[in-house]
Structure 1
Amino acid sequence: MSIRKIAIVVVTYNREVLLKRCIEALKRQHFAWDKLFVINNGSTDGTRAWLDSQEEMEVIHQANTGGAGGFYSGIKYAVEKGFDYIWVMDDDVIAADDALEQLMLAAELVPDFSFLCSKVNSQDGVVINSPNIDTSVSRYQYPQWGEYAEHGMIRVSSSTFVSVLINARHVQKAGLPIRDFFIWGDDIDFTNRLSKQAPGYMVGRSKVVHLRANPSFPSLVTEVDKNRIALHFYNIRNNIYISRKHKRRADLLMDTLHYSKVALASAFTSNGWYKLRVYMKGFWAGWFFNPPIVYPNQKL
């Protein structure tokens, strides 16, 4: 196996206990990595003090710019430092001991790739954070998603930042995650841009557990935490942007109809009128949201 410099980027915010579990799992990896970068998004619990007491990792403290801002900073820093591969995840991800090893074995199988992602399970063993299947076709007009199926690999077009190994070479052309997303969708947009440079794959033998308090797909309809309802503005706005930028017009129309159903359904749930206001604000903003894409080593 050829030698590659591997950096790990973990983004954290006010989850000291989970962060420690995440990092302990990274230390148990069978495959050796070179550097761990932790992006502390302005934590107000004991996270900062604990990170400052650690010597085996490099910590970047910054204001809370959401997960998007954290991954923007971490990936930018790692690419500009010359790492070949960047393994990224949130602080509530627990990687199996051979998770990185399986990703690297997969990397040796394909001529080129933009990203590789792990299979993600919830704490109770249900598959979550599933990537989007790549539906592009071969010259014989059949979908290519199964080209490495015998190795437990499926070709995908996008993935969440729950254990993703990024090929830094393709970030130079695709650009960095958009920090203006704040939360939700920055990973889907970023990996979509990457997969336009080279294929992405889900590696079924690389496994992680995502310790989300609520493992269900995030939706304004099912949101019960009133403090989080306002955050769905970003979910709606960012998904409209993604549909505009990465989908066909017919798919954009279908997404628009779907979002209209979401708005109507939200109005008949607890805090319905508040949810509807958040939805309308995000939906309108999504049609005019055009954040800049920043590239590594770009002077700002």
Structure 2
Amino acid sequence: MSGNRRENFYIVITTFNRQDYLAQLFDSIAALDPAPDGVVVVDNASTDGTAAVIDKAAAQLAALGTPIPLVVHRLAENAGGAGGFSAGVDRALAEGAQWLWLMDDDVTTVPGAIAAFGPWMDKYDAMVGRRYNSAGQPFFWQHNFSDFLGFPLPVPGDVFKNSNEFATNVGCFEGMLLHADAVAEVGLPDPRFFLNWDDAIYGWLISLQRPVIYVNAFVLQKTREQRTIDLGIRHLNDSSDLSRFYMMRNRGLVAQYLRAKGKYNPAGFALGTALTAGKELLRLAAVEKTLRGSGKLLKGWRESRRIMADAAWQPMPPLDRTR
């Protein structure tokens, strides 16, 4: 991992009340070979034993043959995944990060993951590696964002049949690797999303400026088990009422970003919103075996209309590289 394009590789983690999963993630980071140059963990105002887990991990990483610095960024209140990654990316850049590998707290890293990214790090500034699910099976993640619908469409089939890279235009903060140049151009992840759509739109924004690549290298494994069904063209996992609310509420933010980039089509977006609601209703009925929670979808949709009506809304600004 030598050369200018391989320096200052940081892992950025957002965590909230998952101390046991977080401990497993830190154990896997300690086993990475090669190791990262640093780790930034954003504690989203956890109320369990997360602080103690982080303190133990800091000592563990500092005691390695080549110590790995652990930077802790604690938030005063829970800002959601979107707010956590926004703060984490900002802090990692302040620490001098050139590469930022973003991940949730309920995954573990594959020991050779950083080297596995190597073949693409000289060519691209934004990439997503492959993941295993909690059972050790490949997790389906291959989408393209439709500007017309404002909705990510799954791409069926083996996207790596003829190549080890697949051009996409969405992101996933569960394993997305970003170069500081890509971040500077589009700005920090938007904390206003709180939960859902933040990574998809962030990847889309980057794709308008430079390639975003899904690479044929397994780099993470999910540790949290979820109920799921296989629809053939994609998987559907279980969810929560909070997630359902933000899935629909954040359609307003998606619309605003489409408008900001001159890509908004009212009829297409309305269809995409209907598809979003239909997907969430299917998730409730088929995965969670209930329709309780559908009211959260309606509440979120109403809130999305308020966001869409905000004439003063502005996207996140590019970063000032001179700061």
- Above 0.5 in TM-score? yes
Give the percent of matched residue pairs that are identical in Structure 1 and Structure 2.
23
Change in 2 beyond 3 A, CA 1:147/1:279: closer
Alignment partners' CA distance in 1, 2:13 and 2:128: 15
Structure 1: any 5+ residue segments left out of the alignment?
Answer: 137-145
Partner of 1:142 in structure 2? none
Could you say what secondary structure the match of 2:224 adopts?
A: coil
Alignment partners' CA distance in 2, 1:230 and 1:167: 31
Compute the RMSD of aligned alpha carbons: 3.4
Structure 2: any 5+ residue segments left out of the alignment?
Answer: 63-69, 148-157, 230-235
Alignment partners' CA distance in 2, 1:214 and 1:119: 18
Partner of 1:270 in structure 2? 291
C-alpha deviation, 1:192, in angstroms: 1.3
Instruction: Work out which of the residue numbers 108, 114, 133 in structure 1 matches 2:125.
Output: 114
Does the 8 Å contact 1:25/1:97 carry over to 2? yes
Does the 8 Å contact 1:9/1:86 carry over to 2? yes
Alignment partners' CA distance in 1, 2:294 and 2:215: 42
Partner of 1:239 in structure 2? 251
Change in 2 beyond 3 A, CA 1:211/1:285: farther
**Which is further off, 282-291 or 259-268?**
259-268
Alignment partners' CA distance in 1, 2:280 and 2:316: 29
C-alpha deviation, 1:95, in angstroms: 1.6
Instruction: Work out which of the residue numbers 175, 199, 206 in structure 1 matches 2:218.
Output: 206
Change in 2 beyond 3 A, CA 1:151/1:30: farther
**Which is further off, 267-276 or 287-296?**
267-276
**Which is further off, 16-25 or 151-160?**
151-160
Could you say what secondary structure the match of 2:295 adopts?
A: helix
Partner of 1:44 in structure 2? 47
1:116 counterpart letter in structure 2: M
Alignment partners' CA distance in 2, 1:27 and 1:260: 41
2:143 counterpart letter in structure 1: N
2:114 counterpart letter in structure 1: L
Matches within 5 A, 1:1-300: 1-3=2-4, 4-53=7-56, 54-55=58-59, 56=62, 57-62=70-75, 63-108=77-122, 110=123, 113-128=124-139, 130-133=141-144, 152-214=164-226, 216=228, 228-243=240-255, 245-246=257-258, 249=265, 251-259=268-276, 261=278, 269-271=290-292, 274-275=295-296, 277-288=298-309, 290=313, 292-297=315-320
C-alpha deviation, 1:279, in angstroms: 4.1
C-alpha deviation, 1:287, in angstroms: 2.4
Does the 8 Å contact 2:108/2:221 carry over to 1? yes
Could you say what secondary structure the match of 1:158 adopts?
A: coil
Alignment partners' CA distance in 1, 2:21 and 2:129: 19
C-alpha deviation, 1:121, in angstroms: 2.4
Could you say what secondary structure the match of 1:190 adopts?
A: helix
Q: TM-score, normalised by structure 2?
A: 0.75
Does the 8 Å contact 2:23/2:53 carry over to 1? no
Partner of 2:66 in structure 1? none
Does the 8 Å contact 2:144/2:169 carry over to 1? yes
2:37 counterpart letter in structure 1: D
Alignment partners' CA distance in 2, 1:71 and 1:240: 20
Does the 8 Å contact 1:131/1:158 carry over to 2? no
How many residues are aligned here? 281
Partner of 1:143 in structure 2? none
Could you say what secondary structure the match of 2:201 adopts?
A: helix
